[in-house]
């Protein structure tokens, strides 16, 4: 008995399945890349706040050592090296630069007041999304991702919404992510996907492949960067890695101070 034509699978059915699978795979990849990007930014901020002064102290000591050596030897080559070492030290900032981030139109921020009055300064705020925030972000990204839209208006709505989701996730704002999840659940349901011609499906697959290639480049840049490489050394406990680097820098500072004291003594 011949199968009725209505029950036969459409020629585009398997292609549509492939497109949907590629869409979901791309979304998962984007979630992973965005999560790693947030981790890199947070670690970079903590790295700068905790270790920046130590690096600056080492640069200054290297310049002083080179200058002391040049003064002792009188060698033009030592003088050139001393000039290069001094050039690597950041110049003293002006008043505007010095207080950038510490004051506004209303005056000094509380941290600046505390610093000038020898009070304890509030430690830098730790920003690292909680597990619940990560879960909420992943769920929202899977549901509201712009790549799931077929109409321009729906894509624009999703892009605006995902921008707010990304901002909340970058701040680790779990409460706001919950509100956004409720907002999405109460919003208009995404339009049903209409059957697409084979040509559009092939074009869609090609676009998805290109998008993944671009994301792969972004992920590689993050991983190969200095901060990304450091973060991959201790992904589960980056604070411990910062402490280890700080200990090494302190030892380096002590060694340079001893070397300088011997030169000028």
Mapped onto helix, strand or coil, the DSSP state of residue 107 is strand
Mean pLDDT check: name the lowest of 3-12, 27-36, 115-124, 158-167.
Answer: 115-124
For the chain, give the mean pLDDT. Answer: 79
171 class by beta-carbon count within 10 Å (0-12 exposed, 13-18 middle, 19+ buried): middle
Residue 181: pLDDT band (50, 70, 90) is very high
pTM as predicted: 0.55
pLDDT at 148 over 70: yes
pLDDT of amino acid 126: 53
* Per-domain boundaries in the chain: 12-91+201-265, 92-128, 133-195
Closest CA to 251 of 61, 33, 65: 61
pLDDT at 95 over 70: no
What is the Cα–Cα distance from 230 to 83, expressed in whole angstroms?
Answer: 31
List, in sequence order, the alpha helices (H) in the chain: 13-73, 76-88, 95-98, 110-116, 131-144, 152-170, 174-186, 198-224, 226-233, 238-264
């Amino acid at each position: 008995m011949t199968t009725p034509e209505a029950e036969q699978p459409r020629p585009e059915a398997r292609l549509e399945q492939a497109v949907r699978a590629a869409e979901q795979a791309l979304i998962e990849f984007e979630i992973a890349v965005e999560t790693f990007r947030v981790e890199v930014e947070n670690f970079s901020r903590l790295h700068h706040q905790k270790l920046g002064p130590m690096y600056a102290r080492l640069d200054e000591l290297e310049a002083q050592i080179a200058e002391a050596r040049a003064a002792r030897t009188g060698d033009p080559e030592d003088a050139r090296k001393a000039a290069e070492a001094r050039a690597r030290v950041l110049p003293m900032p002006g008043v505007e630069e010095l207080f950038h981030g510490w004051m506004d139109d209303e005056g000094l921020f509380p941290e600046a007041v505390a610093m000038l009055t020898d009070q304890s300064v509030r430690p830098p705020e730790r920003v690292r999304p909680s597990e619940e925030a990560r879960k909420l972000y992943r769920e929202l990204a899977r549901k509201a991702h712009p790549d799931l839209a077929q109409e321009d208006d729906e894509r624009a709505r999703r892009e605006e919404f995902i921008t707010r989701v990304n901002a909340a996730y970058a701040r680790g704002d779990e409460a706001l992510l919950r509100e956004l999840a409720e907002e999405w659940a109460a919003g208009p349901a995404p339009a049903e996907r209409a059957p697409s011609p084979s040509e559009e499906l092939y074009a869609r697959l090609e676009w998805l492949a290109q998008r993944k290639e671009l994301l792969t480049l972004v992920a590689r840049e993050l991983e190969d960067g200095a901060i990304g490489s450091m973060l991959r050394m201790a992904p589960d406990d980056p604070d411990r890695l910062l402490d280890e680097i700080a200990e090494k820098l302190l030892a380096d500072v002590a060694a340079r101070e001893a070397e300088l004291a011997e030169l000028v003594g």
